[in-house]
Amino acid sequence: MDDTLIEVPRGLTNVAVAETAISQVRGLEGYYQYRGHSATEVARTASFEQAWQLLMDGNLPDDDAGLGDQAVALQQEHRQLVTDIARRTLPAQQAQSQGTSFNALTGLQVGLPLIASELGLKPLYDLDPRTRREQAVLMIALTPQLLTTLHRFARGETELVLSEQTGFVARYLHQLTGELPAEKTVAALSTYLVAAMEHGFNASTFTARVIASTGADIAACLAGALGAFTGPLHGGAPSRALETLDEVQASGAETEQWLRDEISSGRRLMGFGHAVYRTVDPRSQMLKEVVSDLGGDRVSSALEFEEAAEKVLQELKPGRGLHANVEFYASVLLEHCGIPRQMFTPTFAVARVVGWAAHILEQAEDTKIFRPSAKFTGEQLRATPR
């Protein structure tokens, strides 16, 4: 066996580690697609259920292809189990928080494997493709239900039973806020969720595929993806982007000067820059249009901040291609929809679990386990003293 190592760039940047037919991100062009369809166009025109079907099975149906009814049925069937898991998970999470706000995302990371254990879900390695898909649909359907149940229980509220006629996104909003959402609000959130469902081999997706390559069960794969997703450099940015707008307003400083001070001090400007895009993030541009249509003081502030940030970033970091990313306008949109800040990233996960599941199913078709090497930089073997 040849022990020669192949040198790769830090972070595996531009290294193709697997093949996929699910999505493609073209960072230099500012474009990404879902199975041959413009992702932003799908977000503008398709429902959550239609996009779910596209990513999972490769075809974009004219309706929800029965996924909506199937999700409702699964949520009703496992309602008591989800409630029990939420109650079991909540005390440990509250103790861990030590006075800080409850982390529903961590509850989801713990809860999904518990649900899988209760239902006796087997490793992907032991399942046929049809059963794997059924389990993927189950996990996607139960994700928003577990998140909202955890959130409501943490606030001392009772579980909300929803109408079976409500669509996936409207049902999530209703369960989370306790109020029937307006159609315009549902449409805005649906656009965001579809745009956020999938985005290539990001850190959480890659993590899910590495675990799937071991043949582990689907909940283990999703728990690993969620672990990566909790990092502030990945899924944890939306609420931080909104906090930036709050800080500027609270400081009373002129926006451009505040930005110069922040950037010159070496602090990261949340909501700007992306690991792949070196041009405008197409998701950010689309969500900018959505929130502009919604209107309001927060939207006006965000638009002014972006304009100032673009100017200052070009001045202080020329040639870096730093623009508003999806989290910047997503934060404004989520706030407008009445979603609490602590549920921003969990709401992101409601969408991204679809992309993770699609990748897990694709990876499960390959029997080769991921097993890279590392360049050893430690001390070499010492001679054994005689």
Residue 273: which CATH number? 1.10.230.10
Catalytic residue (choose from 198, 306, 327, 335): 327
Concatenated DSSP letters for 21-44?
SSEEEETTTTEEEETTEEHHHHHH
Q: Is the same domain home to 106 and 224? A: yes
Number of structural domains the chain divides into: 2
Residue 268 is part of which domain span? 238-335
Whether 11 maps to a domain, the answer reads no
Q: Is 19 a catalytic residue?
A: no
Residue 275: the pLDDT is: 64
CB 226 within 8 A of CB 110: no
Whether 6 maps to a domain, the answer reads no
Whether 284 maps to a domain, the answer reads yes
Whether 105 maps to a domain, the answer reads yes
Residue corresponding to tokens 């995302």: 105
Q: Is the same domain home to 96 and 183? A: yes
Measured CA to CA, the distance from residue 315 to residue 358 in angstroms comes to: 41
Q: Which residues pair with 210 in a beta bridge?
A: none
Q: Is the same domain home to 114 and 144? A: yes
Catalytic residue (choose from 151, 174, 199, 274): 274
Whether 24 maps to a domain, the answer reads no
Closest CA to 152 of 342, 289, 18: 342
Residue 174: the pLDDT is: 92
| CATH at residue 185 | 1.10.580.10
Residue 293: the pLDDT is: 93
Concatenated DSSP letters for 315-349?
HHSTTS---B-HHHHHHHHHHHTT--GGGHHHHHH
Residue 238: the pLDDT is: 64
- Would strands 31-34 and 23-26 be described as parallel, antiparallel, or unpaired? antiparallel
Q: Is the same domain home to 208 and 256? A: no
Q: Is the same domain home to 207 and 285? A: no
Residues in the chain: 386
Q: Is the same domain home to 212 and 353? A: yes
Q: Is the same domain home to 118 and 253? A: no
Q: Is the same domain home to 223 and 202? A: yes
Residue 309: the pLDDT is: 85
Q: Is 327 a catalytic residue?
A: yes
> In the numeric block, which tokens belong to residue 361?
């199913």
Measured CA to CA, the distance from residue 242 to residue 249 in angstroms comes to: 11
Q: Is the same domain home to 194 and 312? A: no
Residue 99: the pLDDT is: 44
Q: Is the same domain home to 248 and 303? A: yes
Whether 195 maps to a domain, the answer reads yes
Whether 42 maps to a domain, the answer reads no
List, in sequence order, the alpha helices (H) in the chain: 39-45, 48-57, 67-77, 79-97, 104-119, 129-154, 168-177, 183-196, 203-212, 218-229, 238-251, 255-264, 282-294, 297-316, 326-336, 344-364
Whether 353 maps to a domain, the answer reads yes
DSSP at 11: G
Q: Is the same domain home to 280 and 345? A: no
CB atoms within 10 A of CB 183: 8
Regions of the chain with pLDDT less than 70: 1-3, 91-101, 162, 164-165, 236-238, 273-275, 277-278, 319, 321, 386
Measured CA to CA, the distance from residue 1 to residue 294 in angstroms comes to: 61
CB 301 within 8 A of CB 329: no
Residue 2: the pLDDT is: 59
Q: Is the same domain home to 121 and 207? A: yes
